[in-house]
Amino acid sequence: MSDRIDRREFLKKSSSAVLGAGVAFRSGLKLGAQDTQTAKVVEVKHSKVLQSGRILDPEIVRNMLKKGMQNLTGSENPWAQFFSPEDRIGLKINTLGRPILFTHHELIQAVVDELKEFGVRENNIIVWDRFEKHMSDCEFEFNTTGEGVRCYGTITTEELISDRLDKNVVYSSENDNPEKREETGTDSYFSKIFTQECDKIINMPILKDHGLSGVTLSLKNLAYGLCENNARFHGSEHIGPFIADFCALLEVRKKVVLHILDGLEACYERGPRPRNLRSLFTPKTIWLSSDPVALDTVGLKAIQTERKYRAHRTLAEEGRPLDHIKLAGKKGLGVSDLNRIKLEKIELS
């Protein structure tokens, strides 16, 4: 059987509860089980990576990535632990914080260069996000040709609903806010970039707070980036269960194999779209893990630490729900207990 995912095996329309339970049943997960395993997260910091004028040193960024990947895998050939040179690899970035904060071009280029050096064909790499308008606001140059790294979004700048949506692959749920449903009702179609054009995904979120979910890190970058019609889950009752349920889907877990959290610059307040530079801080750090729950747990702590340093109230004190990380842990997606996360810190200079 081919290593590529047979789309006939992909998730079809059903209720959210049945869909989640079916995925858990097929993958051997137990819904409601506590996350009892351990996880590894690698933190790489470099004091000189960020220059004045918000300019990043691309060589330092690539060296940070190299060191982080080697430490994460314990291998001098770390990319082979996740990919084969024949894979079509999607880099799911985050441009929602346009135009001030988004996955940095320098970090994306470092990943591209490392994948090419590993042997992946340049045209088999896709840099993508949900909305092309967000990407263009962040100065990404689109490329849909058969040469070079491809770069485009699911929803095009010309039309609200694009032909890059896969109408055969649906996340369907009525566990939402009916007043916030978009025209497509209770169905959320997946991106064709995810279902048809990529064999593996590298998730590349930004370290940011979020007015609704508390933080928007690895898990939210997937739930709100791989499908459309998901604003209907905005709200304290729905957003956490949706993010956890969506990320528990078998094909999401199967395809998204690596998470790289961009904390070279970050947002501690007024996210996910900061209006000015006062909302930013500069950890000068990237975090790497194969466990999105553990990575988000570490990222949450980094944001909470910064808020405390600036004498801000905690996210919980501000009434922002933070349940999606622990809910994802309870679904068996990773570790949400800091005591069981092995955080490997690398400080370069």
Domain boundaries, the chain: 9-348
Q: What is the pLDDT of residue 161?
A: 59
pLDDT of residue 158: 62
Given this model, what pLDDT does residue 18 score?
30
pLDDT in tens, 221-280: 999 999 999 999 998 899 999 999 999 999 999 999 999 999 999 999 998 999 999 999
- Smallest CA-to-CA distance from 273 within 211, 225, 217, 182 is with 211
Cα 333 to Cα 13, 19, 246, 294, 340, distances in angstroms: 22, 16, 11, 9, 14
Take residue 115 and report the two structure tokens written for it.
């994948």
Beta strands in 116-240 (DSSP E): 125-131, 150-155, 165-172, 187-191, 200-203, 206-210, 214-215
pLDDT at 282: 97
Taking the C-alpha atoms of residue 188 and residue 56, their distance in angstroms, rounded to an integer, is 37
Here the tokens at position 295 are 């990575």
Where the chain has pLDDT below 50, the residues are 1-34
